[in-house]
Amino acid sequence: MINGIHAPFSKGRLFMWFATRARIPGNSHLKNKLACQDFAERYVGDDFLLCVVADGASIAPFGEIGASIACESIKHFFECTKMNEVYRLFGSYQLANEIKKCFDFFLNQKRTQIPYNTSKNDFSSTLAFVVVYNDQNFFISGSIGDCCVNAFSGQKWETINRLKNFGNTTRTFFITDNDADMQFKINVGKLSDVHGFILTTDGCANGGLVFHNSIDSEIAYHIFNGIKKQLHTEMWLETYILQTFRKTTNDDLSIIVLYDDIICDSSSKRDNDRMKKKQKAEIKKRKKSEKTEQKSQKKDRYKNRRHFYIYLIVIILAIVFTIALTVNFCFLFHHISGRLLI
């Protein structure tokens, strides 16, 4: 689990959104000592929480690098693009086009670092993402290829982002395709209508989570409800994925669970507000009392200092008077003694 972001206050409850991920190499990759070509990342920005999964194409020599670039570029896009601008771009292929441009920029930088010729198709990868903004009542999801985004409305699970093949073609679309911005499927929805998302690559989907573009509700419920009860969420999710899906597929397995959790309801919020007011009143009262006590102490110190000076003056006057009296007495005694001698 990572630090979450605040969801809009709704129905007397205050929510925060959290994300947990698992990324596991497939059996075939372990057997052939190949790198995991899936990536699953979640990122908390200044005002948003982004979850993204990507699956590098097995036929692409650098598919795992392409998947990594896909995650990094989309993170950079949402990090550098203000929420209002993202929302303005939605509604046409413009948002997908901007995401595609960002990916191409990162990809071209990476290709210059490789000491031999490569093509864009060498980095082919599919992609799916969900982004939610702090204290905003909307989410944006998108996908290209066979990664999918599944949403939980509180009553049922629904696969909201997974592209079906057109006609009889078995083509899988990749973010490296020249027409990727046209093939991107992007959705926007009310965040208050959704209680969670599950993003997966095709390994988990084909392993049993998704059938014919519909998520297996029983498994999804188990993941969604089980993860909220765990202290070590990533360890639990990884173990569950290994036990549930790995035996039915040789592909890499990557999944992100994005879920809301109540951190305060209306009654506890009122109690907290009441307690805060009481604490503020007590602090104010204590400060006033301390201020009064300080004034009293200052006054006492001034009074004591004044008494000290008075006593000092009296003592000095007494000493002066005693000295003067002694001198006068001596002078008088000398004068009388002189007369008697005459």
Q: DSSP secondary-structure letter at 337? A: H
In angstroms, the CA 204 to CA 240 distance is: 11
* 209 falls within a domain: yes
User: Mean pLDDT in the chain?
Assistant: 79
pLDDT score at 150: 87
Q: Is 156 or 131 the better-scoring residue by pLDDT?
A: 131
The burial class, CB within 10 Å (0-12 / 13-18 / 19+), for 97 is middle
Q: DSSP secondary-structure letter at 10? A: B
CATH of residue 33's domain is 3.60.40.10
* 295 falls within a domain: no
Q: pLDDT for 117-130, tens place per residue?
A: 888 899 999 999 99
**What is the distance of C-alpha 157 from the center of its chain?**
25
Token pair recorded at residue 168 = 């009889």
Segments forming the whole domain that contains residue 146: 5-265
* 296 falls within a domain: no
- All residues at 6 or more sequence positions from 79 whose CB lies less than 8 Å from its CB, including other chains: 43, 45
pLDDT score at 75: 92
Residue type at 137 in one-letter notation:
N
> By the 8 A CB rule, do 273 and 31 touch?
no
* 116 falls within a domain: yes
Q: Is 12 or 20 the better-scoring residue by pLDDT?
A: 20
Q: pLDDT for 72-104, tens place per residue?
A: 999 999 888 888 777 777 655 788 888 899 999
- All residues at 6 or more sequence positions from 333 whose CB lies less than 8 Å from its CB, including other chains: none
Q: pLDDT for 35-46, tens place per residue?
A: 778 888 888 887
Q: At what angle do helices 94-113 and 63-80 cross, to 10 degrees?
A: 130
Confidence of residue 105 (pLDDT cuts 50, 70, 90): very high
pLDDT score at 326: 85
* 102 falls within a domain: yes
> Residue 227 pLDDT > 90, yes or no?
no
- Whole-model pTM? 0.70
* 148 falls within a domain: yes
Q: Bridge-partner residues for 144, per DSSP?
A: 127
Confidence of residue 274 (pLDDT cuts 50, 70, 90): low
Structural domain count, the chain: 1
* 228 falls within a domain: yes
pLDDT score at 271: 52
Q: pLDDT for 247-258, tens place per residue?
A: 777 778 888 998
In angstroms, the CA 126 to CA 111 distance is: 19
* 66 falls within a domain: yes
In angstroms, the CA 127 to CA 184 distance is: 9
In angstroms, the CA 117 to CA 31 distance is: 29
